[in-house]
Copies of this chain bind each other. A is one copy, B any other.
Amino acid sequence: MGAPVERTRIRRLPDKAVREREALHAVLDAGLAAHVAFAHEGQPYAIPVAYARAGDTVLFHGSTGSRLFRHLAGGAPCCLSVTLIDGLILARSAFEASMRYRSAMILGTCTVVEDQVPALRAISEHLVPGRWALIRPPSRKELAATLVLALPLSEWSLKVSDGWPETSPDDAGWSPPTGVIPIRTVREAFIEGEA
């Protein structure tokens, strides 16, 4: 484990910082979409992407037609964040109200993945395991329209909030129900259909 280094050292609520690489992997493996932040012409953007983790790399893809993706492919510094919201923490005070969450943040620059097919398969399998074997693989023309980017898990942080509401002496006299509303992302039954 090399990271987190200075820029990803968690200063706020450091007791929530998790430094095990296995925990980072687990959060990345559990997420569906990431947000990639970068600046273009002085303007920051946070764009959602589908992704997968492959070993110590995060893979994601976009269109060669996207100026923002081409900018990322050109080595612009970026941040890829995956946030899982696990619950709402209901405390006695407004100040202690918060969320249960797992929040991964990876800093770095992307490289263009030349061997696209295994990376696209990884993203497909991350979202729908077993699907790749059933579908038409990408054609040469489709691959030419696709940018696959890789971001290494070298500089990263992971913050996990999984506790219960805190109470302070100031809360004396206030006794609302306190606890947690768990939040879960569920996949419902497959609906057959085509455009």
A1 in the interface (beta carbon within 8 A): no
Minimum CB–CB distance for A65 against chain B, Å: 6
A2 in the interface (beta carbon within 8 A): no
Copy number of this protein in the oligomer? 2
Q: Report B-chain residues with C-beta under 8 Å of the C-beta of A80.
A: 46
- The answer to whether A166 and B181 touch (CB under 8 A), given A44-B79, A66-B12, A134-B176, is no
**Is B193 touching A179 in the complex (CB atoms < 8 A)?**
yes
Q: Report B-chain residues with C-beta under 8 Å of the C-beta of A120.
A: 94
Minimum CB–CB distance for A38 against chain B, Å: 5
**Is B176 touching A32 in the complex (CB atoms < 8 A)?**
no
A127 in the interface (beta carbon within 8 A): yes
User: Can you list 21 residue pairs at the A/B interface with Cβ under 8 Å?
Assistant: A11-B66, A33-B99, A35-B35, A44-B78, A45-B105, A88-B128, A91-B135, A92-B136, A93-B142, A94-B136, A94-B138, A131-B176, A134-B174, A134-B176, A139-B170, A177-B190, A179-B193, A183-B187, A183-B188, A184-B186, A185-B185
